[in-house]
Structure 1
């Protein structure tokens, strides 16, 4: 059930605002995919942390190329393949997740192309981080200086698009060991390791300030209507078939075996 809480400003395109705290990332991605493809409204979805460490890969991502699959299997870390492109991230309670779902004509001057959407989002978050660090949009990443703290992905369909971001307010260093150094990386990364390449937003801005300033920046461009949303009801009371899915243990085992032929006979030691 979707319950409107208040009316937004008159004269600006309407944007529904939904805020969660700690919902599973698989649920959030299912909701985003469904709203992109079945709704005709604009949406801003903010999830303040997700409930458990989870790896999320882009639509065309291959575990053997992007993950230390043996470690992922050993530690039973869930792996999701999402409906958008982009890179691979590991999210947990220290990640703030923001999705913007818009109709083609919702933002004046923004065309349904990746570069145009990224340019607009960079300006939106420039407002959020005004006076905070050396914020920049660099090669599709949000950075302070040359340290990444926000990873982006998009999906564009005929009349609508989504731009969603995982913001590293905090992270567990040990979780980064599940991710391989990608073969395709932005030039400014300069072959740096994960720990040399990323930073924690908590060193720059309080968590609540970031979320409040993000809402304010959206309010400057949209007539924002906060909603209460029963996510289980929305996702399950529909015939929509989601493409975002959890990879099976068997899929991960096959990927691991294909890249570690000398270890095929070893026990995976996974309960």
Structure 2
């Protein structure tokens, strides 16, 4: 009987010692969590969320990273933004996109570019020149968050409306023929955007290949013409990069680099 009681006491003592060790570990974890929570709450009090900038502060040994996506969303603000965009901003961006396309492409020296780069005076040559400049606008507007992305879509939409209207003025075409030709131009446009993007993000050799395949239609054997076009594209991309996206959206005006100076 005494042996059973001693064994029970020993088990009870071992269980209590394990409990004490676990509780001490738990307390240490809780204390660390409390320290981190206090540091985080102190950081939240001191951080100005209206600035929305990237910061990497260190608080009591803990590294806290804040990005642009600050969670400040409520149901009411979401509903307000939805109606503000679909009832107001959507149509403003549509009009701004059409104006930007008009100012950027209607004043281009199409005849001079065709002569300078030995292109035929055709509808397709007009489209190749237009899609090149629209692509450069797309590159710049892509960095403009929501407004820039909407403007980018509206500029492309304005280009397709202009292309279809010019196609109809060339002669009497059936609706199915125009739709088929516009679909082929759409495939060509998508391939051109991929090639130009790859060339812009790579080197001049890759960009020259995209120019030779798309803009010069694989008919050019003069490397000086491709060099001129590379310089022309690089200079215009740099010019657009120096313009803030909001200024480009509000002014809706672009003054391209003269191709004769390249």
Q: Same fold (TM over 0.5)?
A: no
Structure scoring higher RCO (CA < 8 A, sep ≥ 6) equals 1
The bucket for the TM-score relative to the shorter chain is: under 0.3
TM-score (ref. length: structure 1) = 0.22
Give the number of the structure whose residues are more often strand, by fraction: 1
Larger radius of gyration: 2
